[in-house]
């Protein structure tokens, strides 16, 4: 199986030993504490699950700037996005050497992790501007990722962490939430060697389904891991539980047995386009995938990024050998009326726009809300039914 990023063995920061975890939980009750942002909480969950391998905790200001400018830590580790614990107020932990990180996303704010504090540093406005400009490609505060990042504060708290739980993800999504450790184990149990990963924060329509199958066939993969984002999205996105049900129905009816794993992970989207695409590739290498599908405007939002910027960054900015995972570059996928099947549009140069079944997201949402199923060329009827029920109940 493919090696994790930056090491020969995966290094999850969750404390698996029950006795040690219980001891740390008791210790946390005596420590200075801080309720972190949702972004920091999701970063903690990702560190715990091994997705950010080989990091041992949160980066400091020097590493944040080095990663933003050069996609490398000051120690030379390739990493595309700074992994940070950023705070507005440090009064409760200002002189602490060890602190408890409390979860903002669960009532009562239980302790999520124990952290050794290496440094607490205040970033200047210029330094924050460097991070936003390099990571998000913009300093526009209308960009949801920039907005969320700047709202966290200016104090960067760095140091190693020991993770005590996986927040709400295990409880709310017991069938779907999986750590990188668990996914590697299941890939091994299934006997898969070549594995494609597919990222989604939306329900999967017919084009997504076929794209997965096209990629699997192209690289001769044993299976595909459909990896759903379960963290915070932007307003208007479909809840994870509905996406989960729709994807499970699609796989049950339209994929061959033992060719698809349905999993999810706890991360708040950055909407950072190309840089986030590279981060997503690291997630997938760490969970054991050998190939990762990246399509148009991967992890993008609005018009901030070019359609294929998330693909070209791997050619132009990712150093050769920095990652072992291979990228499967996808174009927009749609049903061809001429060929009576779903194709990548770049593979049908003789087609005009009207030769494809193309529907905007707005149009599809309108149809579903009115109880009208999209054409079967666009959406499997069983999937459409789940989405129609959701949109009609939400009105």
Active-site amino acid positions = 201-202
226, 203 contact by CB (below 8 A): no
User: What does residue 134 show for φ and ψ, rounded to 5 degrees?
Assistant: -75, -40
Q: Which of 231, 239, 293, 203 is nearest to 46 (CA)?
A: 231
Token couple for 299 = 């992890």
The DSSP secondary structure of 314-337, one letter per residue, reads HHHTSPTTS--SEEEE---EEEET
d(CA 340, CA 356): 10
313, 274 contact by CB (below 8 A): yes
d(CA 293, CA 199): 7
Residue 244: strand, helix, or coil: helix
- Give the ranges where the chain is alpha helix by DSSP (H): 18-28, 38-49, 61-70, 125-136, 144-151, 169-172, 180-190, 206-219, 240-254, 273-286, 309-316, 361-369, 381-394
Neighbours of 395 (CB within 10 A): 6
d(CA 100, CA 31): 6
Q: Which of 208, 214, 115, 113 is nearest to 158 (CA)?
A: 115
d(CA 73, CA 66): 6
Q: Dihedral (C-alpha) 143, 144, 147, 151: value to the nearest 10 degrees?
A: -170
Neighbours of 20 (CB within 10 A): 12
């Amino acid at each position: 199986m493919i090696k994790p990023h930056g090491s020969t063995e995966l290094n999850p920061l969750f404390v698996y030993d029950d006795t040690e975890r219980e001891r740390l939980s008791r210790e946390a009750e005596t420590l200075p504490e801080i309720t972190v942002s949702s972004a920091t909480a999701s970063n903690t969950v990702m560190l715990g699950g091994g997705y950010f391998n080989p990091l041992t905790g949160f980066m400091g200001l020097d590493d944040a700037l080095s990663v933003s400018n050069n996609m490398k830590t000051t120690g030379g580790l390739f990493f595309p996005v700074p992994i940070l614990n950023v705070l507005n107020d440090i009064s409760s932990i200002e002189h602490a050497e060890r602190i408890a990180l409390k979860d903002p996303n669960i009532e009562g704010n239980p302790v999520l992790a124990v952290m050794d504090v290496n440094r607490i540093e205040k970033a200047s406005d210029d330094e924050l501007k460097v991070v936003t400009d390099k990571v998000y490609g913009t300093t526009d505060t209308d960009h949801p990722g920039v907005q969320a990042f700047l709202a966290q504060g200016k104090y960067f708290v760095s140091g190693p962490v020991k993770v005590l739980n996986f927040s709400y993800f295990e409880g709310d999504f017991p069938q779907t939430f999986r750590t990188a450790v668990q996914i590697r184990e299941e890939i091994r149990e299934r006997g898969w060697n070549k594995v494609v990963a597919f990222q989604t924060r939306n329900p999967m329509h017919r084009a997504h389904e076929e794209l997965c199958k096209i990629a699997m066939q192209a690289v001769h993969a044993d299976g595909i891991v459909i990896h759903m984002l379960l963290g915070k999205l932007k307003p208007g996105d479909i809840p994870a539980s509905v996406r989960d049900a729709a994807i499970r129905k699609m796989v049950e009816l339209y994929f061959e047995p033992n060719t698809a794993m349905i999993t999810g992970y706890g991360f708040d989207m950055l909407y950072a386009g190309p840089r986030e695409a590279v981060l997503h590739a690291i997630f997938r290498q760490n969970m054991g995938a050998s190939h990762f599908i990246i399509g148009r405007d991967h992890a993008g939002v609005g018009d901030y990024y070019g359609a294929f910027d998330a693909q070209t960054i791997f050619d132009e900015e990712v150093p050769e050998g920095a990652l072992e995972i291979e990228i499967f570059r996808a174009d927009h996928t749609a049903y061809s009326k001429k060929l009576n099947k779903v194709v990548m549009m770049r593979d049908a140069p003789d087609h005009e726009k009207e030769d494809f079944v193309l529907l905007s997201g707005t149009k599809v949402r309108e149809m579903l809300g009115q109880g009208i199923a999209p054409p079967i060329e666009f959406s499997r009827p069983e999937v459409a039914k789940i989405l129609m029920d959701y949109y009609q109940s939400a009105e």
